[in-house]
């Protein structure tokens, strides 16, 4: 089909989108560990929630496991994913004399520290998040069982009966809907006026920025596509935000081959973004797929610039530097 025969399409490309600093750091940790120690390098759980990324690291020699007991006796390192782990995991690794590297996002580690501070101050802790998500399991696992109560919805916030209503604190998962979380917090503050919140927002800068960017493109888009994994919380929230912000339809796709072209027949405007664990190569792939069917005009819609960078673990950096210096 020639360009003249293709129907026109305006594609609004959200910015910022894709990799955040925590994801970028976690992937680099695996890559540097492979360089420093050689394969195999073991990784507990998906390092980030993206099949393309995980498969790429697997080809380089990363071995992904669900639990530490799947790892044989070895001197090779094991890496903990960006989502964070319960305290019992590094304790188990240390008991087995494992060399472990923690790739937990520093913004998740911040929430862990908040939980520990509230515990020291004898506060009852409410965690706003999604049951079963690795980050929630990791955060709740920083403290003894029963020390943290999970709040998933506004209804939960309306009905919870804390043991000490005058001595409460709330923390959140970092990848939630900003708007949903705000509504839950409003209920908690109305019911428990003395409840203590974070000094600085727990929902991470990248989640907030990507949701704001989607809000900018959704009202003018017949359809919004979010490149991301089904088990990626921040990607699922982007799809929900797009729907609520005026897009006629919103779709989560892992890559271009997932697009159902019949679903979007007749569209003239499309919004495109990517979750924080989705690489830009998959965004390019989706754009190319649209170009093969439409005469595409791409318009970048930037709401904010990001310049956040997290440092890599010092011991790993030093080992790689020594190897580079040696040869």
Distance, in Å, from the CA atom of 185 to the CA atom of 195, rounded to the nearest integer, reads 10
- Rg of the Cα atoms in the chain: 22
Cis link prior to 40 (omega < 30° from 0)? yes
Q: If we measure between CA atoms, which residue out of 193, 233, 207, 148 comes closest to residue 185?
A: 193
Query: Is the Cβ–Cβ distance between 41 and 76 less than 8 Å?
Result: yes
E-assigned strand segments in 2-123: 8-15, 41-44, 62-65, 78-80, 100-102
Following DSSP, what letter does each residue of 35-49 receive, concatenated? HHH-S-EEEES-SSS
Distance, in Å, from the CA atom of 54 to the CA atom of 50, rounded to the nearest integer, reads 6
Q: Which residues have a Cβ under 8 Å from the Cβ of 65 and sit 6 or more positions away?
A: 42, 43, 44, 45, 71
Distance, in Å, from the CA atom of 181 to the CA atom of 185, rounded to the nearest integer, reads 6
Catalytic residues: 135
Give the position of tokens 């998959």: 282
């Amino acid at each position: 089909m020639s360009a003249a025969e293709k129907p026109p399409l305006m594609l609004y490309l959200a910015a910022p989108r894709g990799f955040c600093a925590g994801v970028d750091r976690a992937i680099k940790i695996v890559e540097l560990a492979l360089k420093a120690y050689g394969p195999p390098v073991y990784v507990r759980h998906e390092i980030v929630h993206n099949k393309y990324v995980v498969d790429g690291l697997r080809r380089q020699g990363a071995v992904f496991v669900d639990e530490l007991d799947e790892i044989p006796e070895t001197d090779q390192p094991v890496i903990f994913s960006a989502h964070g782990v319960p305290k019992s995991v590094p304790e188990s690794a240390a008991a087995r004399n494992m060399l472990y590297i923690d790739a937990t996002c520093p913004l998740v580690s911040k929430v862990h520290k908040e939980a520990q501070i509230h515990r020291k101050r004898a506060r009852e802790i409410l965690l706003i998040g999604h049951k079963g998500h690795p980050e929630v399991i990791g955060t709740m696992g920083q403290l003894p069982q029963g020390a943290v109560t999970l709040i998933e919805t506004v209804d939960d916030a309306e009905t919870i009966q804390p043991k000490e209503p005058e001595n409460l604190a709330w923390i959140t998962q970092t990848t939630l809907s900003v708007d949903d979380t705000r509504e839950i917090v409003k209920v908690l503050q109305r019911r428990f006026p003395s409840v203590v919140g974070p000094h600085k927002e727990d929902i991470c800068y990248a989640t907030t920025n990507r949701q704001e960017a989607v809000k900018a493109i959704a009202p003018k888009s017949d359809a919004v596509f979010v490149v991301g994994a089904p088990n990626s919380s921040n990607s699922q929230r982007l799809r929900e935000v797009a729907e609520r912000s005026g897009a006629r339809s919103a779709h989560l796709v892992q890559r271009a081959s997932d697009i159902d072209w019949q679903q979007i027949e007749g569209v003239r405007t499309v919004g495109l973004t990517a979750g924080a664990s989705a690489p830009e190569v998959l965004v390019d792939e989706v754009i190319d797929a649209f170009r093969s069917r439409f005469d595409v005009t791409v318009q970048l819609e930037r709401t904010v610039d990001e310049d956040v960078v997290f440092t890599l673990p010092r011991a790993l950096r030093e080992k790689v530097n020594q190897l580079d210096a040696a040869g």
